[in-house]
Chains A and B, each alone.
Chain A
Amino acid sequence: MTILELRAVHRVHGAGQTAVHALRGVTLTVGAGELLAVMGASGSGKSTLLNLAGGLDRPTEGDVVVNGTVLGGCSRRGLAALRRQRIGYVFQDLNLLSSLTAAENVALPLELDGMKVRTARRLAQEALCEMDLEGYGPRFPDEMSGGQQQRVAIARALVGQRRLMLADEPTGALDSQTGEAVLRLLRSKVDSGAAVVLVTHEARHAAWADRVVFLRDGLIVDTSGPMDQPEELLTTPGGAE
């Protein structure tokens, strides 16, 4: 089942002389039970792609489809609801609210959506357990290690009915063991049916993915999944680029 689909998506930031063509026609699909990694040099368009997929930004051209809903056709309100209910986002800086406990942070999107507090807290507790954080619910972010905070952010992204998780460098400042533990947990979530798009510059983390797409200058230049064909490498000298 397809969870996320990008159809010939373009995104131009700004206009005229200073316009930046951040994405130049990206097409991809991510299914349930699939972990897709996105790699590419700085400025290649990775965050732009993720923001579009999460409905935080709109394409200049092309369509973004989540769970069969074309985001471009949604009202502001509809989009906000879809984001809360279907899409989890892990930002590079985690974005945990420091005045709320871990459990409150995780429950927040559910409560915002009108869920009864008790139910929301129970689901939050379950999500924390899945991230190996049983007993950490009452702690505040600054009472936890970086890796634990990271896992709280992931629990928040995956709590409730959400099956699509978008993560921008979620293993940013972690040591290699903790980073691997996070990937292992993500992998197990994916294996039980979630769809994840992971932006990373670390090949070791991308290696957990089913498919790795490489972005360059706003285009997918390569995909490393199940075996693909070697490319035409020698161009005729002086021929077209």
Chain B
Amino acid sequence: MYGYQLRATFEESTGGTWPLNIGQVYTTLSRLERDELVRPLAESGTGQLPYEITDSGRAELAMWFATPLSHGDRPRDELAIKLALALSTPGVDVSVVVQAQRAATIRKMQEYTRLKYSTDRPADLAWKLVVDAMVFQAEAEVRWLDHCEASLLRHSSPPMPKKTPGSAHEAENEAGREATR
């Protein structure tokens, strides 16, 4: 794949929520090449320079999908982007990505809650409100993840009867019923 194709694919799978400029794409590609995560192929007849992902690039990508984001200064959008890309990356089970994030976020909430419960001085009200802010923010993320999971369920066929081309429509109806109960 070459630069323009990459950009088009990225924008398509993230619904245009994160527009890229082409210069950014090429700088990123050359950094990736420097780190040996991608490698250039022979120039095409039309002068395009296609790249191919390397094995260590694949490993890096797998790591990214496998590692839940931590709540710090991360842009929230990275999670949305991660899910959007997980959907369009062959071999990635999106529901596993969703669950990994949900478990990590709830674990964080458990820590905040323990913190909150362990101090019971009334003077700490302000501090408690700050901890609550983090709890509620994390909760919003979990609810969004639940929502994503329900949408996924609606848009994929149920796992038990294997999807066959003829029954795709029927399967979707069934999954829809499941999700709206």
Contacts and interface: CB of A to CB of B under 8 A. Distances in A.
Interface of A: 39, 41-43, 184, 187, 201-204, 206-209, 212, 214, 221-224, 227-228, 230-237, 239, 241
B6 interface: no
Interface string B97-141: 101101111110110110001000000000000000001101100
Contacts of A207: 106, 109-110, 112-113, 135
Given A204-B135, A204-B139, A234 B149 contact: no
Nearest to A43: B181
Contact of B109 (A42, A204, A234, A237): A204
15 contacts: A43-B181, A203-B109, A204-B136, A207-B110, A207-B135, A208-B117, A212-B110, A214-B99, A231-B96, A233-B92, A234-B65, A235-B91, A235-B93, A237-B90, A237-B91
A207 B102 CA distance: 12
A233 B96 contact: yes
Given A208-B113, A214-B103, A234 B135 contact: no
Interface of B: 62, 65-68, 90-93, 96-97, 99-100, 102-107, 109-110, 112-113, 117, 135-136, 138-139, 142-143, 146, 149-150, 153, 159, 178, 181
- Secondary structure at chain A's binding surface: helix, strand, loop or mixed? loop
Nearest first, the 6 A-B pairs at minimum CB distance are A207-B109, A203-B142, A237-B91, A207-B113, A224-B103, A233-B66
A221 B146 contact: no
B117 A206 contact: no
A204 B97 CA distance: 21
Given A212-B110, A221-B99, A237-B90, A203 B143 contact: yes
Contacts of B142: 203
A234 B91 contact: yes
Given A203-B139, A233-B93, 4 more contacts: A39-B106, A203-B138, A203-B142, A207-B106
Contact of A41 (B67, B112, B149): B149
Contacts of B103: 212, 214, 222-224, 228
B138 to A, nearest CB: 7
Nearest to A183: B113
A200 to B, nearest CB: 11
B107 A224 contact: yes
Given A203-B106, A212-B110, A43 B66 contact: no
Contacts of B91: 234-237, 239
Determine which residue in A43, A231, A237 has the highest number of CB atoms from chain B within 10 A of its CB, and name it.
Answer: A231
A92 to B, nearest CB: 16
Contact of A203 (B96, B105, B153): B105
A84 B29 CA distance: 68
A223 B104 CA distance: 10
A170 to B, nearest CB: 17
